[in-house]
């Protein structure tokens, strides 16, 4: 028996007991004739005490132990004279009577502490040591708790978890597939799923009624900072439902998750149309932890001979509460910020709404105090506020203003990590026009149902058609999305046609789904949540990487195991493929 208790378990009521603990040497403190060791395991830290008077040999043995040695200590639980109120075991210590070294350790390349001295690269290379750090491990414990809470909720709602296959068929649509050469079917390849989309729809055709799966998905994309080639989805689908049923059920799930995992009541989720989200926030995933909604003051700016606004399709303003104290230097810096190529604004106009009721702007040459007052009134600005204006083509300026708004929210401390605001964005457009390829793309995916009342526009005005599609957005992050699916074969065929699939293409790629739809497909819909993202949100972190046990870097490499790697020629030969040289 390696231990009678864990390192997080002993309390004042255990005093007098002889116990056996095992764990890692987290820290050693030596004082004259005394030494203390913080013994660490997943459950906590317990202080081991060594005393020259009590046992000189043991003290010496203890002093030979290095950081991260694995030891077993047998001894008596004793009340500490100098209690540590910061840890649950802080009232007691173990007077060690026997010490066994279970394993030695080299000195770790970085400190195993919350604030480690290790950089990203070395932490990733020694991920097994990084995972020893309490905060990193806690992220993965949180992940486990979120998964548990998801399962609890969906199980109660009679969802069945069904595993869909990982070795499937490549579909050129969408992002790039990872592929797997088949040895038994040479020259042919499996693909790894980008999502179980078609399989979950088949399960609905099969009458499973309510399906879910917490499942790995794969995308061979050029990786941005916060993307991973393999990621995890909470994938769900339901039959005999309308959009309203799905929104209600998964609103319930998110409320349940916040309650279970964070102890928070997140309340009813507001619903915002895609059009409103773009109009008010310039963003289909608005961060509604703060207001600062867009004001369209185009008309108020016209006819005053300010050539920049005269030429602009749209002039947008936001009101930064209490920011009239900004210095000229701050505003110059903000102007440089919006002019960066990532944002792309030509310039920034600002109006101080001074505490004394006067106005001062960067365009005083063209606009009178009365003009400025009109702007301020539309923006509901109060004395002490700052108006920030951008102008240009509507879509472009909405996008720029969205970035500026988020940046101001950050600078003003309005995007608090411990505050959570969730909403549904609904009524997405069904299609978006791809200017480059001069064709329509499905905004969601080709199986998304148009709103029934918009179907007549399929032939006349495809761009105006709204989809029965919805996203769940929390704190400006799209955590999930889905749609009601097309379950009618003719409508699906029409969609494929609009999307530029020939009948052969559609049949080759989705033939099995189209066939399935011939045999009594029920009305159905669903959604998927990005599980990694959801966990990082719950953890109050920006990136997903520390919520994944063994993540890959931006080159898709696992630097710890050194994958991918070259493989044997023999292996390649068996697979019937070779590498281009």
Shortest reach from residue 63's CB to a second copy, in Å: 18
Q: How far apart are the first and last CA of the chain?
A: 56
- Residue 121 binding a second copy, by CB under 8 A: no
Given the complex with a second copy, which of 170 and 378 has the nearer CB atom?
Answer: 170
Report the residue from 12, 141, 355, 464 that binds a second copy according to the rule CB under 8 A: 141
Given the complex with a second copy, which of 141 and 355 has the nearer CB atom?
Answer: 141
Instruction: Report d(CA 139, CA 559) in Å as an integer.
Output: 21
- Residue 131 binding a second copy, by CB under 8 A: yes
Report the residue from 121, 128, 416, 542 that binds a second copy according to the rule CB under 8 A: 128
Report the residue from 252, 369, 384, 523 that binds a second copy according to the rule CB under 8 A: 523
Shortest reach from residue 204's CB to a second copy, in Å: 9
| Sheet of 160-161, strands arranged across | 160-161, 210-218, 230-239, 524-530, 477-484, 469-474, 422-426, 271-273
Rg (CA), the chain: 30
> Which residues touch 470 (CB under 8 Å, ≥6 apart)?
243, 246, 247, 424, 425, 426, 428, 481, 482, 483, 527
Would you say 546 and 552 are in contact if contact means Cβ atoms under 8 Å apart? no
According to CB under 8 A, which residues from 58 to 117 bind a second copy?
Answer: 68-70, 102-106, 108
Given the complex with a second copy, which of 55 and 145 has the nearer CB atom?
Answer: 145
Instruction: Report d(CA 232, CA 529) in Å as an integer.
Output: 9
Given the complex with a second copy, which of 131 and 363 has the nearer CB atom?
Answer: 131
In a 10 Å sphere around its CB, with 0-12 CB exposed, 13-18 middle and 19+ buried, how is residue 81 labelled?
Answer: exposed
Instruction: Report d(CA 545, CA 132) in Å as an integer.
Output: 16
**Helix H segments across 211-327?**
243-257, 274-281, 298-301, 307-311
- Residue 185 binding a second copy, by CB under 8 A: yes
Q: What are phi and psi of 560, to 5 degrees?
A: -70, -50
> Which residues touch 239 (CB under 8 Å, ≥6 apart)?
204, 207, 208, 209, 210, 522, 523, 524
Instruction: Report d(CA 113, CA 159) in Å as an integer.
Output: 41
Shortest reach from residue 179's CB to a second copy, in Å: 6
Would you say 294 and 280 are in contact if contact means Cβ atoms under 8 Å apart? yes
Shortest reach from residue 158's CB to a second copy, in Å: 8
Report the residue from 512, 540, 543, 569 that binds a second copy according to the rule CB under 8 A: 512
Return the structure tokens found at 172: 């050129």
According to CB under 8 A, which residues from 470 to 499 bind a second copy?
Answer: 487-488
Shortest reach from residue 94's CB to a second copy, in Å: 16
Give the residues across from 318 on adjacent strands: 388
According to CB under 8 A, which residues from 2 to 61 bind a second copy?
Answer: 2-3, 6, 22, 24, 40-43
How many of the chain's residues bind a second copy (CB under 8 A)? Answer: 123
Shortest reach from residue 421's CB to a second copy, in Å: 28
Report the residue from 58, 202, 246, 387 that binds a second copy according to the rule CB under 8 A: 202
Shortest reach from residue 46's CB to a second copy, in Å: 14
- Residue 575 binding a second copy, by CB under 8 A: yes
Shortest reach from residue 150's CB to a second copy, in Å: 12
Shortest reach from residue 559's CB to a second copy, in Å: 10
Given the complex with a second copy, which of 437 and 580 has the nearer CB atom?
Answer: 580
Shortest reach from residue 433's CB to a second copy, in Å: 24
According to CB under 8 A, which residues from 220 to 239 bind a second copy?
Answer: 220, 222-223, 229-230, 232
Given the complex with a second copy, which of 52 and 505 has the nearer CB atom?
Answer: 505
Dihedral, 128, 132, 137, 138 alpha carbons, nearest 10: -170
According to CB under 8 A, which residues from 313 to 332 bind a second copy?
Answer: none
According to CB under 8 A, which residues from 534 to 573 bind a second copy?
Answer: 548-550, 552, 555-558, 560-568, 571, 573
Instruction: Report d(CA 365, CA 386) in Å as an integer.
Output: 18
Mask of contacts with a second copy, 238-257, x by CB under 8 A? --xxx--x------------
- Residue 175 binding a second copy, by CB under 8 A: no
Region of 121-129, 247-255, 340-348, 413-421 interacting with a second copy (CB under 8 A): 121-129
Given the complex with a second copy, which of 62 and 387 has the nearer CB atom?
Answer: 62
Residues 43-67 as b or e (16 or more Cβ within 10 Å = b):
ebbbbbbbbeeebeebbebbeebee
Given the complex with a second copy, which of 28 and 411 has the nearer CB atom?
Answer: 28
Element (H, E) at 67: none
Q: Give the CA distances from residue 256 to residues 250, 447, 504, 527, in Å, rounded to whole numbers and listed in that order.
A: 9, 29, 45, 17
Shortest reach from residue 103's CB to a second copy, in Å: 6
């Amino acid at each position: 028996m390696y231990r009678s208790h864990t390192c997080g378990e002993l309390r004042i009521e255990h005093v007098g007991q002889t116990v056996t603990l095992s764990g890692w040497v987290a820290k050693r403190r030596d004082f004259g004739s005394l030494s203390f060791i913080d013994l660490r395991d997943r459950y906590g830290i317990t202080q081991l005490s060594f005393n020259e008077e009590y046992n000189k040999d043991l003290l010496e043995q203890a002093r030979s132990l290095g950081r991260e040695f694995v030891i077993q200590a047998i001894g008596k639980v004793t009340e500490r004279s100098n209690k540590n109120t910061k840890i649950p075991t802080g009232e007691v210590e173990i007077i060690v009577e026997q010490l066994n070294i279970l394993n030695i350790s080299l000195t770790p390349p970085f400190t195993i502490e919350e604030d480690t001295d290790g950089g990203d690269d070395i932490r990733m290379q020694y991920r097994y040591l990084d995972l020893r750090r309490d905060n990193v491990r806690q992220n993965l414990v949180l992940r486990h708790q979120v998964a548990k809470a998801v399962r609890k909720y969906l199980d109660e709602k009679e969802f069945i978890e069904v595993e869909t296959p990982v070795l499937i068929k490549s579909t050129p649509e969408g992002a790039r597939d990872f592929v797997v050469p088949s040895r038994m079917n040479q020259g042919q390849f499996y693909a790894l799923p980008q999502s179980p989309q078609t399989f979950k729809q088949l399960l609905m055709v099969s009458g499973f009624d309510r399906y879910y799966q917490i499942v790995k998905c794969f995308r061979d994309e050029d990786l941005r900072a916060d993307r991973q080639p393999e990621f995890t989805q909470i994938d769900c689908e339901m039959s005999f439902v309308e959009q309203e049923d799905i929104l209600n059920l998964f609103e319930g799930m998110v409320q349940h998750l916040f309650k279970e995992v964070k102890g928070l009541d997140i309340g009813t989720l507001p619903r915002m149309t895609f059009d409103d989200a773009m109009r008010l926030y310039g963003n289909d995933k608005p961060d509604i932890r703060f207001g600062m909604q867009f004001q369209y003051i185009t008309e108020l700016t016209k006819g005053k001979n300010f050539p920049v606004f005269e030429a602009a399709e749209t002039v947008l303003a936001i009101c930064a509460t209490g920011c009239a104290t900004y210095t000229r230097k701050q505003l110059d810096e903000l102007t440089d910020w919006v002019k960066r190529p990532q944002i792309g604004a030509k310039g920034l106009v600002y109006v101080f709404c001074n505490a004394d009721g006067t106005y001062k702007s960067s365009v005083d040459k063209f606009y009178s105090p009365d003009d400025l007052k009109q702007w301020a009134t539309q923006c509901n600005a109060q004395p002490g506020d700052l108006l920030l204006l951008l102008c240009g083509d509507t879509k472009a300026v909405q996008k720029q203003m969205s970035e500026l708004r988020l940046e101001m929210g950050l600078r003003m401390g309005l995007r608090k990590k411990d505050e959570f605001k969730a909403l549904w964005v609904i009524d997405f457009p069904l299609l978006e026009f791809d200017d480059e390829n001069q064709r329509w793309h499905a905004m969601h995916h080709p199986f998304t149902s148009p709103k029934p009342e918009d179907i007549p526009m399929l032939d006349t005005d495809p761009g105006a058609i709204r989809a029965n599609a919805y996203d769940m957005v929390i704190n400006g992050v799209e955590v999930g999305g889905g749609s009601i699916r097309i379950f009618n074969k003719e409508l699906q065929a029409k969609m494929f046609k609009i999307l530029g699939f020939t009948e052969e293409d559609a049949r080759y790629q989705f033939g099995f789904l189209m066939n399935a739809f011939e045999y009594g497909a029920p009305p159905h819909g669903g959604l998927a949540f990005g599980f990694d993202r959801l966990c990082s949100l719950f953890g109050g972190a920006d990136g997903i990487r520390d919520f994944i046990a063994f993540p890959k870097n931006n080159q898709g490499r696992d630097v710890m195991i050194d994958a991918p790697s070259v493989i044997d020629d023999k292996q390649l030969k068996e697979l019937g493929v070779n590498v281009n040289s």
